[in-house]
Chains A and B, each alone.
Chain A
Amino acid sequence: MSIKDKVPVTILTGFLGSGKTTLLNRILSEEHGKRIAVIENEYGEVGIDQGLVINADEEVFEMSNGCICCTVRGDLIRVLGNLMKRRDKFDYVLVETTGLADPGPVAQTFFMDEEISSEFTLDGIVTLVDAAHIDQQLGRSDESSEQVAFADVLVLNKTDLVSDDALNTLESRLRDMNRMTRIIRAENAKVPIETVLNLSAFDLDQILKRRPTFLEPEYPFEWTGVYDLDAGKYELMLEEGPDPEMSLVALVNQGESEEELKDGAESSVRLYAEKANTLEPGKTIPYGEHINLKLDDKGNKSFILNIEKPTKIGLFTQHTAEEFNMKVIKSVENKEIPFNTERFWQAEHEHDDEVGSIAIERFGDVDPEKLNTWMGRLLSEKGVDIFRTKGFISYSGNPRRIVFQGVHMLFTAQPDKEWGNEPRRNQLVFIGRNLNEKEMQEGFDKCLI
């Protein structure tokens, strides 16, 4: 049976009150075409509207060998074992865990039990966090930080109850804990369904085809403003600020939703990777390019924005608009056009969460034997504290890229596409508790040839 024939399973985790059942009901009501079976560990006050719903108490089964990666969820084995006999009745499974569930055993069930793994595939782990309360929860309980650490998608829910500033700070804290996860902001668990279902998050080929990296970007810009502009000539005016220059990317047709802003940000991250062209005051700002505004003259400086037909312009700026009192002014009328939407991206972050992500990115080849020894040792010593691992490796002498992933000590690696002309490089991401970044980087560096 190929992976295509297997039934995908999405795990919904999150503390009580984070909105799991709301999201579940939203999925059930919006996905009419899909027949979804629901396994529910938590019987909240909100009932589930429809679908094939099975209640089961969470049963965590540890094995006699004491190995935590062998720990599985007996309730899921039992219920899924029965569901597999009713394959004609459903084509997707959602598991809603309790707020206190450890996602490790849930994920391991899909790798450790042959019967389950032959029929089901873990599609992804979606963790909901209550934006108003997660800060306290993270401080108080291991479970909530583990749920954040395991997430393929983090839904930052109830954003309407929290200020934008607080949201940005929170997002950067969560990002630090889990650099592989996708963060989606939502009110009342309203997220596009395709952002939580059919992720194939454990199918590395698929992920790398869609996105060339396991790492979510750290943004090289601090601010985005979206301006709704009619055709005409505009000036971008900046006063004196803390820096003699500021780089920016201007994008046309920039949407204002969180999703569209993220897309714009992602394009901008790529553009920012290119060397910036310096632009003198009075010159026209080109679209879709990384440019560096020259600001060392005294007084106000203006740059030109030419709009041929009405559009929304997104400015992704290195520093915030406020720092330079940056304004967009319509030239003829000399009228300031305020932004429709602004979004802050926090680049700097100093958090002291125990749970965090470590990314190692290195060009070159590694020695397979040395890497095996290092990795084997790392996982046997720190496996309990390493929640998830993903990455790709360039083995010397091997024309193909090796991709791998792990949950605690369970680890799989497989050859992927050929490198071709692409520069050989390695990317490893570890999410875990109290990991020593320097030691791990040094360990990996010793495996490089």
Chain B
Amino acid sequence: MPDIEPFSPRGMFHKGWTAEVSDYAIACGWALKGKQFIVGDVAGGIFAFEGDTGKIIWEKENTHSGGLLAMAIHPEGEIFATSGQDGNVQICNCHEGKVIKTLDLGKGWVEHLKWSNDGLFLAIASSKKVYVFNEIGEEKWISEDHPSTVSAITWSNKNELATACYGRVTFFDIVNNKTNQKLEWQGSLVSMELSPDGDIVACGSQDNSVHFWRRSTGMDAEMTGYPGKPSHLSFDDSGKLLATSGSERITVWSFIGNGPEGTMPGELCHHTEPISSLAFSNKGMLVASGSRDGSVVASFLKNDGNGDPVGAAFAGDLVGAISWRPDDCALAAVNAKGVVNVWKFKVRTNLFSKGFK
């Protein structure tokens, strides 16, 4: 049967491309609607590759003295922002990597960057303060000092920003400079995700628990029993499932019906070492996970949070970050040795089967 093409033995991961950057890769993302893939390494090297082939388009080193801490690609995909230990944020053009604007925020590390969904604002966390700038780098808002270093930021709607730190989550209306809501909890919140509708707030806590709040009802709940601190959280696009992990296990809470309080979560036990990155696909119930042992697994989940692996691959070393292409037809993983792996991914939808050209 000469016309049958052999599949590489990788389940639904198919051969894509690999490339290398200079140091431990900590951040990555797709730009220009999936035509470009940008990787940032811990030393401050930024590299842009062709999304389909992995051919290098541009690269630059030492963008932040002391090292890179965060990178965020604008939702339109034409510009991106980076930040580092030098206290600076750079807004750059994706096509050539040119710096459009440098924001100097002082001495503290700039650890978190988030573009609002409509792309009008860039939120920046540095030490105890959070800043909001617009796309062209004009300052729009600055928070007061938080009680501790801000550990996570995320947009709840186009004008409302959520921040997490030791002891609380705060919602700020950044246009009217108002504090909309404060959710308090005595514990060190190390991660935060919001459901797509902004109602459910989930935070991983240093004491090995996940704390939820429902903003509409004010109800909160604590999910304990994690073997490690749940640094990795991801909601699916419908807000039904929340994948969480602080160990080699992924625990998936289902918000369908009265859950997750009082329900048994789904458990995914596909890795042998703790999870180092976790991301739901842009659409649908696929969750991809990368581990310290270099394994990358995609699992297809059911409504109760349980599921089966549909594909697995080896990324070579600790997975620093993973990213689904906007059309979910490719998955990228970057590792601690600076290796970039991009696999094509076959997705079945109601309409047609994608992933092969």
Q: Could you tell me if A59 and B166 are in contact, using CB atoms closer than 8 angstroms?
A: yes
Check B228–A75 contact: CB distance below 8 A: no
Contact between chains at A63 and B67 (CB < 8 Å): no
The one of A54, A70, A74 that contacts B149, using a Cβ cutoff of 8 Å: A74
Question: In the complex, A74→B85 CA distance in Å?
Answer: 17
Contact of B148 among A54, A63, A74, A115 (CB under 8 A): A74
Query: A114 — which chain B residues lie within 8 A by C-beta?
Result: 227-229, 246-247, 274
Task: Give a binary string over A37-48; 1 marks a CB under 8 Å from any B CB, 0 the rest.
Answer: 000000000000
| Cβ proximity bits A51-89 to B, threshold 8 Å, 1 near / 0 not | 000110101011111000010101101100010011000
Instruction: Write out the residue numbers on chain A whose beta carbons fall within 8 Å of the beta carbon of B107.
Output: 55
> Which A residues are CB-close (under 8 A) to B67?
82, 86
Majority SS at the chain B contact face: loop
Contact residues in A for B111 (Cβ distance below 8 Å): 78
- B173 part of interface (Cβ distance < 8 Å): no
Chain A residues lying within 8 Å of B42, measured Cβ to Cβ, are 82, 85-86
A63 to B69, alpha carbons, bound, how many Å?
A: 27
Q: Would B207 and A63 count as touching, CB distance under 8 A? A: yes
Chain B positions within 8 Å of A65 at CB level: 207
B24 on interface, CB distance cutoff 8 Å? yes
Given A74-B149, A85-B336, the answer on whether A61 and B206 have CB atoms closer than 8 Å is yes
Whether B81 sits at the interface, judged by CB under 8 Å, is: no
Determine if B188 and A115 form an interchain contact, defined as CB atoms under 8 angstroms apart.
no
Q: Is the CB of A86 within 8 A of B166?
A: no
How long is the Cα–Cα vector from A70 to B69 in the complex, in angstroms?
Answer: 27
Residue of B whose beta carbon sits closest to that of A75: B149
Return the CB mask of A266-291 against B: 1 if under 8 Å, else 0.
00000000000000000000000000
Q: Is the CB of B187 within 8 A of A63?
A: yes
- Cα A65 to Cα B188 in complex, Å, equals 12
Determine the chain B residues whose CB is within 8 A of the CB of A164 once the complex forms.
none
A72–B320 Cα gap in the complex (Å)? 25
Residues from chain B with a CB closer than 8 A to the CB of A74 are: 148-149, 166, 188, 206
Supposing A59-B149, A74-B166, A115-B229 touch, asked if A86 and B24 sit within 8 A by C-beta, the answer is: yes
Nearest-CB distance from B61 to chain A (Å)? 15
Q: Which of B289-311 contact A (CB under 8 A)?
A: none
Asked if B228 and A78 make an inter-chain contact with CB atoms under 8 angstroms apart, the answer reads no
A381 within 8 A of B: no
Min CB gap A40→B, angstroms: 12
Using CB atoms, name the residue of chain A closest to B69.
A82
Considering the chains assembled together, what is the distance between the CA atoms of A64 and B206 in angstroms?
10
| Closest partner residue, chain B, to A87 (CB atom) | B24
Query: Once the chains are docked, how many angstroms separate the CA of A62 from the CA of B167?
Result: 9
B186 located at the interface, meaning its Cβ lies under 8 Å from any Cβ of chain A in the complex: yes
Q: Is B26 an interface residue, CB under 8 A from the partner? A: yes
Give the distance to chain B from A59, nearest Cβ to Cβ, in Å: 5
A113 at interface by CB-CB < 8 Å: yes
A55-B107, A59-B149, A113-B206 known; A85 and B229 CB under 8 Å? no
* Distance to closest chain B CB from A111 (angstroms): 13
Task: Write out the residue numbers on chain B whose beta carbons fall within 8 Å of the beta carbon of A63.
Answer: 186-188, 205-207
Check if A64 sits within 8 Å of B149, measured CB to CB.
no
CA distance A139 to B43 in the complex (A): 47
CB distance from A336 to the nearest CB of B (A): 65
Q: How far is the CA of A64 from the CA of B231 in the complex (A)?
A: 18
**With a CB–CB cut-off of 8 A, which chain A residues contact B166?**
59, 61, 74
Given contacts A64-B185, A70-B207, A85-B336, contact A59 B229 (CB under 8 A): no
Question: CA separation between A78 and B149, bound complex, in Å?
Answer: 10
CB distance from A87 to the nearest CB of B (A): 8
Chain A positions within 8 Å of B85 at CB level: 54
User: Which residues of B lie under 8 Å from residue A62 when comparing CB positions?
Assistant: 186
With both chains docked as a complex, state the minimum distance between the C-beta of B159 and any C-beta of chain A, in angstroms.
Answer: 29
Cα separation A96 to B69 with both chains bound (whole Å): 23
Residue of B26, B67, B320 ringed by the most chain A CB atoms within 10 A: B67
The answer to whether B336 and A61 touch across the interface, beta carbons within 8 angstroms, is no
User: B9-51, CB under 8 A of A: which get 1 and which 0?
Assistant: 0000000000000001010000000000000001100000000
Give B42's nearest chain A residue, CB to CB.
A85
Cβ < 8 Å to A, chain B residues 108-124? 109, 111
Docked Cα-Cα span, A74 to B166, in Å, equals: 9
- Chain B 150-191: CB-based contact to A (< 8 A → 1; otherwise 0): 000000000000000010000000000000000001111000
A50 to chain B, nearest CB (A): 15
The residues of A that contact B274 with a CB separation of less than 8 Å are: 114
A85-B186 Cα distance, complex, nearest whole Å: 29
Q: Which residues of A contact B43 (CB under 8 A)?
A: 86
With contacts A55-B107, A114-B229 taken as known, whether A64 is within 8 angstroms of B187 at the C-beta atoms is: yes
11 A-B pairs within 8 Å (CB atoms) are namely: A57-B149, A59-B149, A64-B207, A72-B206, A78-B111, A78-B149, A82-B67, A85-B26, A113-B206, A113-B229, A114-B227
A-B pairs, top 3 by smallest CB distance, nearest first, are A61-B188, A63-B207, A114-B228
Apart from A63-B187, A85-B42, A86-B67, what 19 extra A-B contacts exist at CB < 8 Å? Answer: A59-B166, A61-B187, A62-B186, A74-B149, A77-B206, A78-B111, A78-B149, A82-B69, A85-B24, A85-B336, A86-B24, A86-B42, A113-B206, A114-B227, A114-B229, A114-B246, A114-B274, A115-B229, A115-B231
